[in-house]
Amino acid sequence: MPVGRRVSWHAGGALVVVMCAVYLARRHWPVIETGAGRLAVADRGWLLVATAATLATWACSALAQQGAVTRSLPARRLLAVQFAASAANQVLPAGLGAGAVNLRFLTRCGLSVTRSATALAVKATAATVVRGCLIVALAPACPGALRFPHVSAAAWAVAVALVATAVVLLSGPLRRVLRAVLTDVHAVHEVPARAAALWGGSLAFAALHAGVVIAVTQAIDLPLPPAQVALAYLAASSAAVLLPTPGGLGSLDAALALALTLAGAPGSAAASAVLGYRLLTVWLPLLPGLVALGVLVRRRVL
C-alpha cells in the first residue's frame, strides 16, 4: 500500500476514534467535570514530582535512541529532537510523527535511511520488551488486577488466520526487516555502553511515565497502591497500541481510565488521574514542542 494511502487510512481511523472520544466526553461530562475540579485542588508537591518525571522522560528517550545506534549522536540536538518528536507524535497516529522526526534526524547525522529505520525498530522493540517485562514483574504483586476480556474461539481463529495470511504474504519483506534488526541489535550489544543506554533508557522511560501517573494519583488521594497504578498504566498503554490514534488520544485515555476503574478507583478520581497525566505529558508541552520542531527544521537539524 502506498505511504500516502496508508497515512490517510490512519488519519481516518484516528478521526473516528477522536469523534467517539468527544461523544463519550459529552455523555460523561459530569464525571469529567468533577475530575477536573478534583485535580484543581490536588497536592502541589506531588504534581511537582509528576512534572519532574515528565521532563525526565525526554532525556530517557534520547538515551534509548543513542543506544540504538553505534555512532555517537550530538547530545543536545538529540534531546531537543525527542522533545519536538513528542509534539509531532500528537499529530500523526501510531507513532508516525515521532518516527518521522527521528528518522530525519538520524539521516541528517549521516546514517542511511535503512540504517535509521532499523535503529527506530530496535528502539521500539526494546520498549515493547521492557514494558512486557515490567507487566510480568508487577502482576504477581497485584493479583487479580489484570482482567482480560472474554474472546470467543471464533474470534481467536479469525485473528490467527489473519496473522498467518499476513506472514505468508509479507514473508520476504518481514524476513529482510527482521534480519536487519537482528544485525543492528548484535552490533549495539557488542558495545556495552550502547546496550546499557538502549535498555536503561527504555526501562527508565516506561518507569517514569508510570511514575507520572502514580504521582498524579497520589496528588488526588486516589486509594490505590502505586504498584497497582503502575500495572494499570502499563497494561493500558500496551492495549492502546492496538488503536493507532495520534499520541494515543482517546485510546490511551479510555484504556487508562478503564484500568484504574477496574482496579477500584471511583470514576471521577480515575478521570482526574487521566486528565492530570495528559495535561503534563501532552497538552502543556504541545505548543513548546511544536515551536521547537519549527526551530529545528529552520536550523536544518531536521
Task: Give the residue extent of every domain in the chain.
Answer: 3-298
Strand partners, 246: 93
Average pLDDT of every residue of the chain: 80
What percent of the chain stands above pLDDT 90?
A: 32
pLDDT of residue 5: 52
Average pLDDT over residues 193-203: 94
pLDDT of residue 3: 46
Average pLDDT over residues 140-159: 65
Cell 508541552 belongs to which residue? Answer: 285
For residue 190, pLDDT beyond 70: yes
Closest CA to 73 of 43, 105, 112: 105
Sign of CA dihedral 159, 262, 139, 230: positive
Q: Which residue has the higher pLDDT, 117 or 148?
A: 117
Cell 461530562 belongs to which residue? Answer: 29
Q: Which residue has the higher pLDDT, 17 or 302?
A: 302
Q: Number of C-alpha atoms within 13 angstroms, CB side, residue 200?
A: 11
Q: Which residue has the higher pLDDT, 146 or 110?
A: 110
Closest CA to 260 of 231, 239, 221: 231
Cell 488466520 belongs to which residue? Answer: 161
Cα(223)–Cα(22) distance, rounded to whole angstroms? 28
pLDDT in tens, 245-274: 655 566 788 888 888 988 888 887 888 888
pLDDT of residue 10: 46
pLDDT in tens, 81-94: 999 998 888 766 65
Residue 255 parent element (H or E): helix 251-262
Taking CB atoms within 8 Å and a gap of at least 24, the contacts of 101-106 are: 101/293, 101/302, 102/65, 104/302, 105/77, 105/78, 105/81, 105/301, 105/302, 106/69, 106/73
For residue 33, pLDDT beyond 70: no
- 20-32 in b/e form (b: 16+ CB < 10 A) is ebeeeeeeeeebb
Average pLDDT over residues 191-204: 93
